[in-house]
Chains A and B, each alone.
Chain A
Amino acid sequence: MGNQEKGKGLMEPENSAEKLTALVVDDDKLVRMIHQGLLKRAGVKNEAVKNGKEAVDIHYSGQRFDIILMDNEMPIMTGIEATKKLRSMGILSRIIGVSSCTEAEKQEFMKAGIDDYQVKPLTIGVLNSILDVVKASK
């Protein structure tokens, strides 16, 4: 089983510090399109799934990402549930909760293990600050 330590050699050899990867998790197609557009512009290789369960499954299949943009309100499995599951699987990716939830939900989201929380929709500026943090930690 590959290791998940930050700052060490990652499992995919072509995953250099310059080429970050991201997973967009949102049930809304419009939001997925916009967030993927943002990532594409920033040169981040990305994929999108439409609920928490698909986010977990893609990790079960062995894929790993530097950043996960996690919505909360999704069918089948919420962002909070998916975050808990991913952390319990040992996933150390930077998980950004991206939502429009209440303060109480935000607290629950943070308790579940997200690294940061941002209000939807993300802007270029906010994404850049997220990327800066991830690049600095690699």
Chain B
Amino acid sequence: MEVGQMQRQWMGYMKSLFMEGFLDGQFLQLQQLQDENNPEFVVEVVSLFFEDSERILKDLSFAVDQQSVDFKKIDAHVHQFKGSSASIGAQRVKNACIAFRNFCEEQNIDACRSCLQQVKQEYIHVKNKLETLLRLEQQIVAAGGSIPMMEWN
């Protein structure tokens, strides 16, 4: 595949991620922070997001499984996850966290457990999408092309 085609494929994929609500404008901000002074910025930030997320999800699963549930602790984890997903523009994960926090406030453990599943699903989805996107970017760069600038209103 030649570079122009790859770039168009990348653009199409990005557009779909926005249309489907996986990513929001914050992700575009991150792309704009990548330049020749900071060539690996997006990969670094996304990798850190993955690391943080796996850790938070592990902590959340543990907290939710306790005999005596500590809702404050669960809420603290979800708050953190909401923050990091918002930072990266992972909109659906962020929204799932917002719903989760409401149930923490209500101290509804069943709803919390179901929310945790939701959040996990959304995270796995966006992780796959981001990995695909970054792979496309790597291919473009390897072929000597540059990653297009995208605008989203």
Contacts and interface: CB of A to CB of B under 8 A. Distances in A.
B35 A41 contact: yes
A100 B81 CA distance: 13
B13 interface: no
Contacts of A34: 30, 33, 45, 87
B43 to A, nearest CB: 12
B33 A121 contact: no
Nearest to B80: A28
Interface of B: 25-26, 29-30, 32-33, 35, 37-38, 41, 44-45, 48-49, 52, 80, 82-84, 86-88
A38 B44 CA distance: 14
Contacts of A123: 25-26, 29
Contacts of B32: 41, 124
Contacts of A29: 48, 52
Contact of A41 (B26, B33, B44, B87): B33
Contacts of B84: 28, 30-31
Nearest to B42: A37
Interface of A: 28-31, 33-34, 37-38, 40-41, 100, 120-121, 123-124
A100 B83 contact: yes
Contacts of A38: 29, 33
A34 B37 CA distance: 14
B45 A121 contact: no
Given A37-B33, A121-B26, A123-B26, A31 B83 contact: yes
25 contacts: A28-B80, A28-B84, A29-B48, A30-B52, A30-B87, A31-B83, A31-B87, A33-B44, A33-B48, A34-B33, A37-B30, A37-B38, A37-B41, A38-B33, A40-B33, A40-B38, A41-B32, A41-B33, A120-B83, A120-B86, A121-B86, A121-B87, A123-B25, A124-B29, A124-B32
B70 to A, nearest CB: 17
Nearest to B25: A123
Nearest to A126: B29
